[in-house]
Amino acid sequence: MTSTTPAPSDVPVADRLRAQHGAALTLGEDCDLPDDLVIELDTGAHLTTGDRVCIRRGSSIQVHRGATVIIGNDVAIGEHTFISAMAGISLGDGAALSNGVDLRDHSHRVRSAASVPTGQLVPWTSGFEAAPIIIEPGATLLNKVTVTAGVRIGANVLVGANAVVSHSIAPDTGAASVPAAVRRHFDGASVAGDDRRTLTVGFFGTSIMEHLEAFNAQMATQANLPEVGSKVTVEGWHQRGWVHRLALSLRAAHAHVGFDIRNHGEGGATSRDIASLVEADRATSGVDYDLVFLGCGINDVWRRFQNRLTEAVLIEEYTQRINTMLEQLTGYSRQAVVISETPFGPIENPATVAAMNTELASYNEAARKAAAAHGALFLDVWTPFTAVARQLPADDTTGGVWSDGVHLTELGDTVLLQHTERLLAEHRIVEKLLDYPLLERDRALTVYGPLFARYRPAAS
């Protein structure tokens, strides 16, 4: 790694730095740089700044092997600030770092038997893990703020002095404390658009997730609704229900985030069918999910009571199927949630429905155990669902929670929606998913390289 701590001279600092680092350094115009600025660039590293960047005395910038640091236009960096990258760090236009700010996109890996098989007592033997730090345009970090790896700080954010930012912060907010937490929201100034963080969310389940609804454009256009009693043509099917409403809720609560919603629910599917859906999705799309929901079992039971025995899935096979699916899904999903099945309603005579629900409850228990075994969360919607169904008056005119004893009404969908939202809030799932995952440093360079590729000189 090369280093520079130049003594004052008549040669402009920018010219000296360009001469020392060559193509590894791209400096913008009209930058105000101190004589004692320390820049260290390892092999394959690159540092680029925009125009009118101001850096004060005592500051250091380290860019390790293969990593990238980007400093946008009109960025101000205070005294004794330290920036060190093993994956990549980006400061958006107009961002400000006050005195003593510390940005490091990496940390030591734990000294496990796997990472230090020889047991050698050297601090860096275990290696490093890294993830980008992204500071969006207009964000301001006050004195002695520390930012850890994998964090994204939104546009216009103001972080109070001495805070430790260990999780991502939404735009147009003020944050403080250790760890930093949002204390207030404000109407932020308009800033140029930046790359949006997008979370991919998958759903694998039955018609309760799929929830098809007939569609005609005229019926959804308030200014051109069809006349009462007239006929319209079904133009297609849209997915609605609690999954659609959850997607809207996520987008409303996190408008600065993109959500790629992939609903693989399928009407009539048993766990056997859903296992095939999981296999086919991975084989054809290869998508890695940030968050995935899995729910199945109701059709496994229902088919036996319908005397469709070749389609029925007994508890032993169900247990094997859901464990296999979770083993697969947790391998390429950052967070998995198993959602219990809702009980059967008045689909048969009461004694038969009671027997069906007794059996279905055992499938839900198997799902709960499978979730625990694979580090997934388990969402029990059976209890709140039955509570709502039981407490509705007998002459209720809203349609209750079931439309036909299996599929759900809007009220039933709302019960699922509320408890799913509660689970996400209690575990701060979306907030945690907005952090970039820490990866072994070489893998981090490969995975996160595309975030910084356009700022690096083209390979000759």
Total length of the chain? 460
Q: Which two tokens stand for residue 327?
A: 């083993």
Which domains does the chain show, CATH number per domain? 13-185 (2.160.10.10), 197-433 (3.40.50.1110)
pLDDT, residue 379, reads: 98
pLDDT, residue 460, reads: 42
Give every residue of the chain whose pLDDT is below 50, as ranges.
460
Give me the phi and psi of 69, to 5 degrees please. Answer: -120, 130
Q: Single out the residue of 27, 30, 84, 37 nearest to residue 57, CA to CA.
A: 37
Beta strands, E only, 209-347: 212-215, 236-239, 257-263, 289-294, 333-339
**DSSP code of residue 223:** G
pLDDT, residue 457, reads: 83
344-384 tens-digit pLDDT: 998 889 999 999 999 999 999 999 999 999 999 999 999 99
pLDDT, residue 397, reads: 67
pLDDT, residue 2, reads: 54
Percentage of the chain lying above the pLDDT 70 cut: 96
* Secondary structure (3-state) at 443: helix
Specify the residue for token string 């499978």.
370
* Secondary structure (3-state) at 90: strand
316-352 tens-digit pLDDT: 999 999 999 999 999 999 999 999 999 999 888 999 9
Write down the pTM of the prediction.
Answer: 0.89
pLDDT, residue 9, reads: 62
- How far the first Cα of the chain sits from its last, in Å, is 22
